[in-house]
Structure 1
Amino acid sequence: MKKLKINASLEPMDEWTYESYVSDYIFENVCIEQNLDNVTIDGCKFSKCQFKDCSFSFIECMDIIFDHCEFENVHFNQCSLSRVHFISCRISGMEFSQSLMQDILFQLCKGHYCDFGGSTFKDCMFDINDLTGSGFVQCDFKKTSFDKCILNSTEWFNTKLKELDFSSCEIENIAVSSDKLTGVVVNSSQALEFVKLLGIVVKD
Structure 2
Amino acid sequence: MLDNYFDSKTFLKVDFTKSTIKKGEYDNCTFTNCNLENVHASNIQFVECEFVDCNFSNAILDNTAFKDAQFINCKMIGLRFNKCDPFLLQFSFKDCQLNFSSFYQLKIPNTKFSNCNLQEVDFTEAILLNSVFDDCDLKLATFDRTILENVDFRTAYNFNINPIESKVKGAKFSKENVVGLLTEFKVVVE
Tell me, yes or no, whether TM beats 0.5: yes
Deviation by residue 1:2-59 (Cα, 9 ceiling, x = unmatched): xxxxxxxxxxxxxxxx943332211111111377696322111111000122233343
Provide the C-alpha distance between the structure 1 equivalents of 2:102 and 2:189, rounded to a whole number of angstroms: 36
Question: Residue 123 of structure 1: CA displacement?
Answer: 2.8
Provide the C-alpha distance between the structure 2 equivalents of 1:148 and 1:187, rounded to a whole number of angstroms: 12
More strand by share: 1
1:94 aligns with 2:79: yes
1:77 aligns with 2:77: no
Provide the C-alpha distance between the structure 2 equivalents of 1:36 and 1:119, rounded to a whole number of angstroms: 25
Provide the C-alpha distance between the structure 2 equivalents of 1:120 and 1:35, rounded to a whole number of angstroms: 30
1:62 aligns with 2:47: yes
Provide the C-alpha distance between the structure 2 equivalents of 1:125 and 1:170, rounded to a whole number of angstroms: 15
Q: Which residue is 1:11 aligned to?
A: none
Question: Residue 203 of structure 1: CA displacement?
Answer: 7.2
Q: Which residue is 1:122 aligned to?
A: 109
Q: Which residue is 1:180 aligned to?
A: 166
Provide the C-alpha distance between the structure 1 equivalents of 2:161 and 2:83, rounded to a whole number of angstroms: 20
Length-normalised TM-score, structure 1: 0.78
Show structure 1 runs of 5+ residues with no match.
Answer: 1-17
Question: Residue 181 of structure 1: CA displacement?
Answer: 3.7
Identity %: 18
8 Å CA contact 1:23–1:41 kept in 2: the answer is yes
1:131 aligns with 2:113: no
Q: Which residue is 2:6 aligned to?
A: 22
Question: Residue 148 of structure 1: CA displacement?
Answer: 0.9
RMSD, aligned α-carbons:
2.6
2:151 to 148, 164, 175: 164
> Which one-letter code corresponds to 2:64 in the other structure?
C
Show structure 2 runs of 5+ residues with no match.
Answer: none
8 Å CA contact 1:82–1:102 kept in 2: the answer is yes
> Which one-letter code corresponds to 1:130 in the other structure?
N
Length-normalised TM-score, structure 2: 0.83
8 Å CA contact 2:130–2:148 kept in 1: the answer is no
| Cα distance, 1:177–1:153 mapped onto 2, change above 3 Å | same
Question: Residue 62 of structure 1: CA displacement?
Answer: 0.5
Provide the C-alpha distance between the structure 2 equivalents of 1:158 and 1:150, rounded to a whole number of angstroms: 20
Q: Which residue is 1:140 aligned to?
A: 127
